[in-house]
Amino acid sequence: MHSDALLIEIGTEELPPMALKPLALAFKEGIESGLKAANLDHGQVRWFATPRRLAVIVDELIAQAPDKNIEALGPPTSNARDDDGNWTKAAEGFARKNGVTPEQLTTAETNKGPRLAFKSSVKGSITTQCLPAIVEKSLRQLPIPKRMRWGASRNEFIRPVHWLVMLFGSEIIPAEILGVTSNNLTRGHRFHCDTQLTIANPDCYEELLASSGHVIADYQQRQQMIREQVTAEGKQAGGEAVIGADLLDEVTALVEWPVALTGSFEQRFLSVPAEALISSMKEHQKYFHLVDNEGQLLPNFITVANISSEDPSQVIQGNERVIRPRLSDAAFFYENDKKIKLEARLDKLKSIVFQAKLGTIYEKTLRVKALAVTIAELIGGNPAYAGRAAELGKCDLVSDMVLEFDKMQGVAGCYYALNDGEPDEVAQAIKDQYLPKFSGDSLPENPVSCALALADRLDTLIGIFGIGQPPTGSKDPFALRRASLSVLRILIEREFSLSLKELLEAAAAQYDNLPEADTVVTVVLEYIKDRFENMIVEQGVSVQGFRATINAPGHQFDVPLSAYHRAQTVMNFSQSEAASDLAEAAKRTRNILAKNPSPQANIDTAALIQSAEKELATAIETAQEKIDCTPANFEQQLEALSRLQQPVSTFFDEVMVVADNETTRNNRLALLTKLNALFLGVIDISYLALSK
């Protein structure tokens, strides 16, 4: 069957850099999905993306899908004709449904006997005919939050569309999409080659754009070029370029012909906090910064130009002129802010509303201070330092530095605290209070920092839930999901064995007149438990394993560190043969007791008749003693349960629980009641039977 390469390219105005890669990947997936739905087989699918284009090349795409044979089954042949030999209504209806007469139907043998059948062949989709619809659907489904119109057109897209290439081999696929007629003409670099280029076939697309158009169409290739150039420039400047993934993606999406150039700024700016300089270079100018062997910031930056200049020094000087005023602003804000102590800014927080029903940032600060002191006492931190860090923690919000560079929140406060002579732990806690900021981010290091980070988030959780404004599926303005996960990570990874319920109660005690005061602790605890379940399942614990862990009456979710270790232990235990057998036994035990509640609490050992029930009674006593002796060792408790596997299995194989004799029956039910209680004292093992 004939096949050829397919090229689709959408040429636009400059696309939003942060959206470029997601758009390109979604476009590729949309084309693949459309081809699959049309039953059009193909080879590799490659995607391309530059600031002015989204493109896809499909290798070895067949020209037409294979014909499809269809067989529709109708009524049994015994119901096809009446006693007079005439076609029945069932037969006529089936024929009419398929657009034929009853005489044109055939017979098919099935496992239910012979039936009327209609066989037909559907011609396969022709690639050139169905591609326009596939492309249009893919473009409609792109993740574009807000589309725009241009000119007098009613078409909508993320940016105005200027050209459309649709080539199957050397054949132009005729189509009009987003107001543009397809052809084989692309465009090169806006400055180096602002003209049309004729594409002979998809195979020459990349080479044509690179050699004649000054465009590196392959996103990954362009990104690798940038990485290599920036790394080389950093070494040549005597340092190491710091290449963050987000900035690298953004820069890749801003240029079509990358040229890395190194600039510099005055040494005097290094007296400004490095974070402020980096923020200014990265956020505003998209520059990569350089550090020395000790990780200290160097007075250099690397910019990636979108042109090959005959005089690169002019480009460098231009960038240096642009960055200088921004660094000067940062230096001015820093020096000006240092003239006022952090504690002198505390009163200004009274004018900043945290939440209309929860008061100001100042009021939040007082609550967090009291809570941080309490937590510090529990985890071995300095309570006085924790209280001081909480008191000063939000003061940098009213500094010039943070007002200009919002990502300096906490960082600026740390520098200003050190400048004011505050203890190192206090300054560090001010900086660390916002950690972790995202999944996988680092955690606060010392107990004082952890106390403040926990107190801040617990106060927010209690406050927002306490006024009846929990997050919804689409809205979480106070980032309560992230706050919950942060609390869990700090408690677990820093190994703080604290009762979450007690912490939430301490946080709630700082509030007066919360509308949901009576239920807020329970509701927040349940909310955090749900986040914990998601977190633990992502780490490989099954949902049933998690629920087995926290649904046992003796081990309800409260201490996250303990629950985490139990869940990890259950995950390992659940893979054993003993776990599987005991889970089924626990489930069977639960079912028997549900139908036959035990009328007696204690086992009458003298009434035990068969050796299997005697053996089980002894095994239960032995396991109970082992579990009672190891209240803090969950692994040993599970091991004690696992030793019940053989006697439990033998009991159910050999003993009739619901015996005719009432005394025997009641005694055996009492035995199962004790077994069930033993299970639930450690783990609700019946859940593990559901995961098999």
| Band of residue 636 on the pLDDT scale cut at 50, 70, 90 | confident
| Band of residue 112 on the pLDDT scale cut at 50, 70, 90 | confident
Question: Tokens at residue 356, please?
Answer: 């209309």
d(CA 153, CA 132): 19
| Pairing of the two strands 53-62 and 3-12 | antiparallel
All structural domains of the chain with their residue ranges: 3-65+126-211, 68-122, 219-337, 343-538, 566-690
Taking the CA atoms of residue 196, residue 198, residue 202 and residue 207 in that order, the dihedral angle to the nearest 10 degrees is -70
The confidence score (pLDDT) of residue 667 equals 87
d(CA 359, CA 460): 12
**Residues facing residue 64 across a β-bridge:** 126
The confidence score (pLDDT) of residue 68 equals 81
Q: What is the mean pLDDT of the chain?
A: 91
Q: Is residue 71 pLDDT above 90, yes or no?
A: no
Contact 272/330 with Cβ under 8 angstroms?
yes
Name the residue with tokens 């008061």.
Answer: 359
Q: Which ranges in 405-479 belong to alpha helices (H)?
A: 411-419, 424-432, 447-466
Domain at 566-690, CATH from 1.10.730.10, 3.40.50.150, 1.10.510.10, 1.10.287.130: 1.10.730.10
Indicate the DSSP class of residue 11: E
Segment 289-302 mean pLDDT: 96
The confidence score (pLDDT) of residue 692 equals 44
| Per-residue pLDDT tens digits for 396-427 | 999 999 999 989 999 999 999 999 999 999 99
| Per-residue pLDDT tens digits for 675-691 | 888 888 777 777 776 55
Segment 79-106 mean pLDDT: 88
Question: Tokens at residue 646, please?
Answer: 């053989």
d(CA 172, CA 150): 26
Cα–Cα separations (whole angstroms), residue 156 to 26, 138, 146, 150, 151: 17, 14, 9, 8, 11
Segment 122-137 mean pLDDT: 91
Domain at 3-65+126-211, CATH from 3.30.70.260, 3.30.9.10, 3.40.50.1820, 3.30.1490.20: 3.30.70.260
Cα–Cα separations (whole angstroms), residue 456 to 118, 509, 529, 688: 71, 14, 19, 38
| Per-residue pLDDT tens digits for 571-625 | 877 777 777 778 788 888 888 888 888 888 788 888 888 999 899 889 888 888 8
Q: Which residue has the higher pLDDT, 473 or 554?
A: 473
How far is residue 541 CA from its own chain's centroid? 17
Q: Is 384 helix (H, G, I), strand (E, B) or coil?
A: helix
Q: Is 643 helix (H, G, I), strand (E, B) or coil?
A: coil
d(CA 559, CA 632): 13
Share of the chain above pLDDT 70, in %: 98
| Pairing of the two strands 176-177 and 106-110 | unpaired
d(CA 465, CA 459): 10
Contacts of 320 (CB under 8 A, 6+ apart): 263, 264, 265
Instruction: Tally Cβ neighbours within 10 Å of residue 460.
Output: 21
| Per-residue pLDDT tens digits for 2-44 | 899 999 999 999 999 999 999 999 999 999 999 999 999 999 9
Which stretch of DSSP H or E encloses residue 115?
A: strand 113-122
- Does domain 343-538 bear CATH number 1.10.490? no
d(CA 198, CA 544): 60
